[in-house]
Structure 1
Amino acid sequence: MTNLDVANLRAYNQRLNQNKFKKPEEVIGYMGAMQAQEYAYAKWAIGLRMLSPADKSVEKAMTAGTILRTHVLRPTWHFVLPQDIRWMLSLTAPRINAGNATMYKKQEVTEDIFNKSFNVFTKTMQGGKQLTRTEIAKALNEANIATDDLRLTIILMKAELEQLICSGARQGKQFTYTLLDERAPMTPVIDRDEAVARLVLRYFTSHGPATLNDFVHWSGLTVADAKAGIEINKQQLSSIVIEGINYWMAVEVDLSKVKKSGTYLLPVYDELLIAYKNRDAMVPAKFRDKTGAITFFPTIMVNNQVLGNWGRSIGKKAIDIELKPFGNLTKAQSDAIKTAAHRFKKFN
């Protein structure tokens, strides 16, 4: 097995070219969590894994709360299911808060300020109210809590990590926050070992083949956590060694059915790239010096290999797509990319 086989397996297991889902919440449930700070592109990441993708179906799921958007891994924005948000946050929040401690101190946001802010959130959001950042800042300022610089972002993130608030429906183009207890059902509390085991199994099933360090990069947890989760799930995971590196994935993968083809216009921060610490399997050796372009911009993938960047501009009547290949494209590659571009335009 080669690095190209790894790339093919990852695209296959991430459901980019087989058994696509009907609903956005099915995508998120399978993937565990999907990076989502670039919202318009993040919706397309869900759409890529759907049988009949449509922007409005993802937006509808956000409005209804069947998928939520919050800080849960590393930390950055992720889509997650309401039934998963509590156990995931219980698992990841302690490490995120520890990592944020210096920022809390620098911005002089003390526990007393956090608690006072949380009381404001509870009072102003109860009854299903969904507030924009501007409305939240106004409520905090009226309670003599400063929200300048990064303080509002810090307070909101901390409230998310404490399982007090989560995403509400959008108001126009504005995001809102609402009380988690009024947005997501209460779920049974599970111990840390079970939470680690769940997250490990979800990751390696949907993202495998992947390494321990890939999981650590994606989750923000430790190597010890990864090893413990694999040990608990050892009957459901298998390992393969490629060029001396140990990869893990679900045992039920039928290697004879894995597709070697597939052309996608990946959004920025798509899980097929961002979810791995080492992305060499998906990037030809001649393009591995383009780390920034691959990490921070939408990418063109042909036969599960990165071949360039792309961008889009949305007008009133049409969507224009600009292709920025890293090298010359063959006719077959160009034709495949045109088909992928048509699918993106149809999504919007």
Structure 2
Amino acid sequence: MNLYNLYGLKMTHQEIANYRLASQKIFKMTQQTPQEIVRHLGAMQAQDYAMAKWAIGSRCDASEKSIEEAINSGEIIRTHILRPTWHFVAAEDIRWMLALSAPQVKKFTASAAKKYGFDDKKLDQTNSSIEKLLAGNNHLTRDEIMQELDIKKTSSQDFLSAVIMMNAELDGLVCNGRMKGKQITYALLDERVLKSEMKLTTEEALAKLAKRYFESHGPATLLDFSWWSGFSIAIIKSVINLIESELDSIEINNQKYWFRLDVIDIDNFHESVHFLPAFDEILISYKTREASILLEHQPKAFTNNGIFKPVILENGKVIGTWKRTIKKDHMKVETQFFTVTDEAKKSIVFEEIKHFENYLETKVIIE
């Protein structure tokens, strides 16, 4: 049992923020591979492809090129899972995680497809056509696939094409293929990832997902896990008992927070600054985010319709945002702090950008 439970101490929001830095592999540089980082976190939101790669890179000593190689080789899979959005998932986790979450996400795709006259039968027929197109490691872009399916590229039909490909992903037929220049392609999942003999019941898979989440994102509540996983609180409550003995917990304001048993000692924390990408797990993976960002600053970091900006963290707290612009021979980074920041503090903050510079393998200039 941890010291908080043993002596009846209370955990503060600052301590929660510190623990999350450690559990999410942000606090200290790790020698883990990109695939190991993704596996540790379970699934990493990845609709912004460039930023999602930096989400991995900010947690390990890997360049953007090496992370892209892991994605192109199929060690890391980018697909729709958990919720109706893109995620990175380790290849070894894709099948059990897909089997668990696909039925709930398919409710969204089925509803959207029906608006275009695509029922289950027509979606299955379309899947068969897609399978023939991609067979033999033939990696194609969405536009190339739609052209072969004779689905015109219009604003309304573009949404239909997204639904068709998402349905094929959720059925375990396709996943991301190798990048074609800057274009994302699709490939057959069976040609990218070996089939697994492991069969889990829904209860076993949900318990495994929950344990993975709380160990990699904790301290976090059941409501946080519900938001991240897409499963209802009622379903989650029925499963948490299965892993209760494998986790630690503490109550704050009548809310129970769960985290890994061997969480790092709070005394080991030191001053730290981190430049994190848009849609990073440090914010997006929690339903409530007061531990990491003050309420009055939240509209500056993310919008009500779910757009998350790249953020600057100081000791686990969001203190500003940043954006990057690609130039011919360097990367320009512009920062915006929430409060007035003295130049001495700014220079310390800007020292952390060196990690981003190493990741990009190009010069970064801050303006």
TM-score by length of 1: 0.94
Does residue 1:318 correspond to 2:327, yes or no?
A: no
**Which residue of structure 2 aligns with residue 224 of structure 1?**
234
**Which residue of structure 2 aligns with residue 82 of structure 1?**
91
Once the two structures are superposed, the pairs formed by residues 13-162 of structure 1 within 5 Å of their partners are 13-18=23-28, 20-50=30-60, 52-141=61-150, 148-162=157-171
Deviation at residue 172 of structure 1 after TM alignment: 0.5
**Which residue of structure 2 aligns with residue 305 of structure 1?**
317
Once the two structures are superposed, the pairs formed by residues 325-340 of structure 1 within 5 Å of their partners are 325-340=337-352
**Which residue of structure 1 aligns with residue 285 of structure 2?**
275
- Mapped partners of 2:209, 2:124: distance in 1: 30
> Letter of the aligned partner of 1:103 in structure 2?
A
Deviation at residue 55 of structure 1 after TM alignment: 0.3
- Mapped partners of 2:178, 2:74: distance in 1: 7
Identity of aligned residues (%): 39
Sort the Cα spacing of 1:291 and 1:310 in 2 relative to 1 into closer, same or farther, 3 A.
closer
Q: Judge conservation of contact 1:3–1:242 (CA < 8 Å) in 2.
A: no
Does residue 1:213 correspond to 2:223, yes or no?
A: yes
Q: Which runs of 5+ in 1 are unaligned?
A: none
- Mapped partners of 1:213, 1:55: distance in 2: 33
**Which residue of structure 1 aligns with residue 250 of structure 2?**
240
Q: 1:124-168 CA deviation, whole Å, 9 max, x = no partner?
A: 11111111112111111189xxx9241110000000000000111
Q: Which runs of 5+ in 2 are unaligned?
A: 1-10, 361-367
Sort the Cα spacing of 1:238 and 1:321 in 2 relative to 1 into closer, same or farther, 3 A.
same
Sort the Cα spacing of 1:69 and 1:257 in 2 relative to 1 into closer, same or farther, 3 A.
farther
SS at match of 2:149: helix
Q: Judge conservation of contact 1:196–1:225 (CA < 8 Å) in 2.
A: no
Deviation at residue 264 of structure 1 after TM alignment: 1.0
- Mapped partners of 1:64, 1:232: distance in 2: 35
> Letter of the aligned partner of 1:308 in structure 2?
G
Deviation at residue 211 of structure 1 after TM alignment: 0.4
Deviation at residue 266 of structure 1 after TM alignment: 1.1
Q: Judge conservation of contact 1:274–1:295 (CA < 8 Å) in 2.
A: no
More deviation, 3-12/20-29 = 20-29
Deviation at residue 262 of structure 1 after TM alignment: 1.9
Q: 1:261-291 CA deviation, whole Å, 9 max, x = no partner?
A: 3211110000000000000000135424535
SS at match of 2:157: coil
The root-mean-square deviation of aligned C-alpha atoms, in Å, is: 2.0
Q: Judge conservation of contact 1:6–1:281 (CA < 8 Å) in 2.
A: yes
SS at match of 1:252: coil
Moved over 6 A (4+): none
Q: Judge conservation of contact 1:12–1:259 (CA < 8 Å) in 2.
A: no
Q: Judge conservation of contact 1:11–1:17 (CA < 8 Å) in 2.
A: yes
- Mapped partners of 1:3, 1:67: distance in 2: 33
Once the two structures are superposed, the pairs formed by residues 2-13 of structure 1 within 5 Å of their partners are 2-13=12-23
Q: Judge conservation of contact 1:321–1:341 (CA < 8 Å) in 2.
A: no
**Which residue of structure 1 aligns with residue 273 of structure 2?**
263
**Which residue of structure 2 aligns with residue 194 of structure 1?**
204
